[in-house]
Amino acid sequence: MDTNTPTRTRREPELTFSSKELFDLALAWVTLSVAFALFIEPVHSGEADIQHFVLMVGLSFITVGVAFLLHELAHKIVAIEHGQIAEFRADYQMLFLAIMIALLGFLFAAPGAVYHRGQITKRENAMVALAGPVTNHLLALMFLPLLIFPDPLRTIGAMGVTINLFLAAFNMIPFGPLDGKSVWNWNKGVCLLVFIPSLTLALLALVEIGLFG
């Protein structure tokens, strides 16, 4: 997700990362990977052994972590290209909540957002918002060919496709701080054109790939 705070500032595009931003990105990456692993392999309840849990953390780091990281970086890059000052900030309370909810057997992921400021139009803000879900769709396509191979490549492919399509659909919901709201405010037709296929593909992935079944 991304959050816009308009000001009068506009500067030349410059992709840089502060130490605080790098720390937040790394923390969110690791936390989401562990939360997802706890959800799939609940070692804390005795339903999975430590070996399978550690393996799932590694697989989640490759799939869930990459999906999150590139989603947020896409927001940042497109925001900078539109003259914004943009940085990712983790929400520590939401990261803690993600772990706690995973321990209860549910999945929740709202790790933070790319905050950007500067003069920007509704259309430009929508392009920044769309960058994340579109990136997830592209990543899903990249993971798709792995489904034809045996494990562990097939598992990586299944996780990569499912998680990326889920993130795209979830973030395109036109509500609150989610990406879909910015797109909805600019053009409702474009929002629905992206959201409906995203949701449909996510549901198909859950049913056909059977990651959670």
pLDDT in tens, 70-82: 999 999 999 999 9
Query: What digits encode the pLDDT tens for the residues 142-185?
Result: 999 999 999 889 989 999 999 999 899 989 999 888 899 999 99
Percent of the chain with pLDDT over 90: 66
**Res 5 pLDDT > 60:** no
Q: What is the pLDDT of residue 1?
A: 67
Q: Residue 54: what pLDDT?
A: 92
* pLDDT tens profile 99-118: 999 999 888 778 899 998 88
Average pLDDT in the chain: 89
**Strand order across the beta sheet in which 2-5 lies:** 2-5, 112-117, 85-90
Distance from the Cα of residue 85 to its chain's centroid: 21
Q: If you count DSSP H runs as helices and E runs as strands, how many of each does the chain have, helices first?
A: 7, 3
Residue 212's CB: how many other CB atoms inside 10 A?
10
At 3 the three-state DSSP class reads strand
Residue type, 161: V
pLDDT surpassing 90 at residue 67: yes
Segments of 14-147 assigned E as strands:
85-90, 112-117
Can 21 be counted among the known catalytic residues? no
Report the pLDDT value the prediction gives residue 40, as an integer from 0 to 100: 86
Residue 8 · residue 78 · CB < 8 Å: no
pLDDT at site 105: 87
Which has more confidence, 158 or 7? Answer: 158
What pLDDT was estimated at residue 126? 95
pLDDT at 2 over 50: yes
* pLDDT in the model for residue 13: 61
Amino acid at 15: L
Q: Are 62 and 156 in contact (CB under 8 A)?
A: yes
Query: Looking at residue 177, what is its pLDDT?
Result: 83
Report the first-to-last Cα separation within the chain, whole angstroms: 28
More confident site: 9 or 68: 68
Whether 10 has a pLDDT exceeding 90, the answer reads no
Q: Give the residue with greater pLDDT, 211 vs 58.
A: 58
Please identify which of the residues 21, 41, 47, 72 carries the catalytic annotation: 72
pLDDT of residue 8: 46
What pLDDT, on a 0 to 100 scale, did the predictor assign at position 3? 63
